[in-house]
């Protein structure tokens, strides 16, 4: 089976570079599935899990937005942040989720609701990626 080279890069450096048969992710325009030979494209990513399939296994990475660049033989994900399940601090993610939920429940005028919503989405994504890999 043909593969794609997949690179996940953050401002802090590379997170992953490996060969996979398929990449699935959530772009702002909807769900995308990429296989070798896909037409070139660039798409903004949503806060979501990137699912990677290859070598008889599936991997997941939590990304907090960014961009996906597709070429026929390579996928590059430039993410604001990206974490493998083993790198996720589960206690920190749970506390971030609780803080965001509390801020949204309080509905204080000085709290930026959009920031709280994004923080909640990031925390839920991290927890989901961690919990679905262990």
Residues whose CB is less than 8 angstroms from the CB of residue 53 and which lie 6 or more positions away in sequence, other chains included: 20, 21, 22, 23, 24
Tokens of 37: 């030979």
Pairing of the two strands 4-10 and 13-20 = antiparallel
Q: Which tens digits make up the pLDDT trace of 113-126?
A: 778 888 888 888 88
Number of Cα atoms under 13 Å in the Cβ half of residue 111:
15
127 and 72 inside one domain: no
Looking at the predicted structure, is the pLDDT value of residue 134 above 50? Answer: no
Residue with tokens 């990513």: 45
Q: Are 22 and 93 in contact (CB under 8 A)?
A: no
25 and 75 inside one domain: yes
For all residues of the chain together, what is the average pLDDT?
A: 90
100 and 63 inside one domain: no
Q: Please give the pLDDT value at position 110.
A: 58
74 and 93 inside one domain: no
40 and 71 inside one domain: yes
Burial 64-100 (b: 16+ CB within 10 A, else e): bbbebebeeebbbbbbebbbbbeebeeeebeebbeeb
- Percent of all residues in the chain with a pLDDT value above 70, rounded to a whole number: 96
* Domain membership of residue 93 as a residue range: 89-131
Average pLDDT over residues 71-76: 96
Average pLDDT over residues 19-29: 94
Q: Which tens digits make up the pLDDT trace of 41-54?
A: 999 999 999 999 99
Looking at the predicted structure, is the pLDDT value of residue 109 above 60? Answer: no
Looking at the predicted structure, is the pLDDT value of residue 40 above 60? Answer: yes
Looking at the predicted structure, is the pLDDT value of residue 100 above 50? Answer: yes
């Amino acid at each position: 089976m043909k593969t794609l080279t997949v690179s996940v890069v953050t401002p802090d450096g590379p997170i992953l570079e490996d060969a996979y048969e398929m990449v699935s992710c959530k772009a702002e325009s909807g769900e995308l599935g990429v296989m070798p030979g896909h037409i070139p494209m660039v798409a903004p990513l949503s806060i979501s899990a990137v699912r990677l399939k290859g070598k008889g296994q599936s991997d997941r990475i939590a990304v907090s937005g960014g961009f996906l660049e597709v070429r026929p033989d390579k996928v590059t994900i430039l993410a604001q942040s990206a974490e493998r399940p083993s790198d996720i601090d589960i206690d920190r993610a749970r506390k971030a989720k609780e803080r965001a939920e509390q801020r949204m429940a309080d509905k204080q005028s000085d709290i930026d609701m959009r920031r709280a919503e994004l923080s909640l989405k990031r925390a839920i994504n991290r927890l989901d990626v961690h919990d679905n890999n262990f």
